Structure 1
Amino acid sequence: MEARALICENSLVTGTIQSRAGDILLVAGPFGLIRALRADGCLLRPEPRDTVLLALTENGEAWIISVLRRAAAQASAELALPEDTRLHGRSLTLEADALRLSGRTVDVRAGLLALGGRMLLQGFAVIQTLCRHMGERALRRRGRYAALDEEVRDLAHRAAGRVRSEARSSYRLRAEHADIRATEQVDIDGRHIKVG
């Protein structure tokens, strides 16, 4: 039933969503069943059995402008936003027991990006990191790689209280100049040792 035949001036009524056919929603209210559209300002997508606020205009249009009550108290909700949406604010906080970001492309830009938590899990096919300076501080760092290939164009410097390297099959050190020094003791132990 069209709203045009029911009213002669703008009015607000409540109703209950009966069904949905694409973008058109069938709403049961004081005027019977009315076909209505969700207004752009109604960000919560109405679902069947939801109680909604309906705006009936004098030109015969019916718009759902708000969802007043969900059909189930714990029902999931979906925000219907325009394709290009921006949120502006001096400070924006998202709090949830579980938060998931999903998208074909996720672009995060900030003057300072701080990540904190008990555990960080990464699973990527390819990771590329481009930066002028990278600093890390960790009580313990552990990694497992099928293959690790690193290239340092200038200076690679590592300072540690102790350094231990283990190789299961072979270990090679190649350089135009190699300088190995120890202030106390140097141990070289092997079944075959070749120098020169």
Structure 2
Amino acid sequence: MKSTRVPRARAGHEHAVGLAYATVTGRAGKWFFVSAADASADRALRAESCLIEPDCGDTVLVCRGGAIGANAAAYIVAVLARAAADSARLLLPGDVALHAAEGALQVEAERIELKAARVVSLEAPVVAMEGVRGELNFHRVDASVSEAHARFGVVSAMAQQMTSTVGRLVQKARDSFRWIEKVDETRAGRVRMKVDERLHVTAQHASVLAEGHVKIDGEKIDLG
């Protein structure tokens, strides 16, 4: 009859698993040099369960055991006390890290997405955004701004209909060109045009209607 037993080492031959307090003294690549109280380990790897990256001077909990000789490995399973209490770096799978220092939080990742079923809210006295390219896509946007200052290199806008109400409008441009296919109508209480050099008006039909006084004054006037 064929035996189905799995060979096991005799009791006392396994290398016992143990935990020890240690202080991180240095680092080389993925290895951390530690000084354990019982001298059970001189270097260790960071365990996946230890999200906080150890730093020099930190007090850590080191687990050692499970193998004998050169294959024996020790792991830092937890950071018990930080040498710099106001900063930390949390490591997540996929090369994602969270940096916390002096009340500031920085997220380091290839791509960040925020998804909410109802509302995403952002509130701060100062909000800064910087990037090479930005995209906004909304069905409706409501904005309320007390004062706005903007600088643009090239602006291209396309709208089906635009309505604006302004208390006072001041525009300054080096050159201005407008193309209107159908009607351009201006309604004003008073219109004043001041041209430094020449005013040229070309039309198929032109009409000037006034209920009161019409004045044409010039050094030379050509009609017809």
Scaled by the length of structure 1, the TM-score of the pair is 0.71
Residues 26 and 76 of structure 1, relative CA distance in 2, 3 Å threshold: same
Counterpart check, 1:187 vs 2:199: no
Where does residue 164 of structure 1 map in the other structure? 170
Say which of 124, 144, 151 aligns to 1:144.
151
Structure 1 counterpart SS, 2:106: coil
> Separation in 2 of the partners of 1:18 and 1:95?
21
> Separation in 2 of the partners of 1:124 and 1:112?
24
Residues 98 and 55 of structure 1, relative CA distance in 2, 3 Å threshold: closer
Q: What displacement does 1:76 show?
A: 4.1
The runs of at least 4 consecutive aligned structure 1 residues that moved more than 6 Å come to none
> Separation in 1 of the partners of 2:18 and 2:40?
16
> Separation in 2 of the partners of 1:95 and 1:135?
35
Letter in 2 for 1:113: V
Where does residue 100 of structure 1 map in the other structure? 106
Letter in 2 for 1:130: N
- The root-mean-square deviation of aligned C-alpha atoms, in Å, is 3.3
Unaligned runs of 5+ in 1: 1-6, 86-93
Structure 1 residues 99-108 or 39-48, which shifts more? 99-108
Where does residue 161 of structure 2 map in the other structure? 155
1:28-47 counterparts in 2 under 5 A?
28-34=35-41, 35-47=43-55
Q: Which has more radius of gyration?
A: 2
Where does residue 56 of structure 1 map in the other structure? 64
Answer whether contact 2:87 2:101 (CA < 8 A) is retained: no
Structure 2 counterpart SS, 1:78: strand
Scaled by the length of structure 2, the TM-score of the pair is 0.64
Answer whether contact 1:27 1:33 (CA < 8 A) is retained: no
- Aligned pair count? 180
Unaligned runs of 5+ in 2: 1-13, 204-224
Answer whether contact 1:15 1:29 (CA < 8 A) is retained: yes
Q: What displacement does 1:74 show?
A: 4.6
Letter in 1 for 2:76: I
Answer whether contact 2:25 2:34 (CA < 8 A) is retained: yes
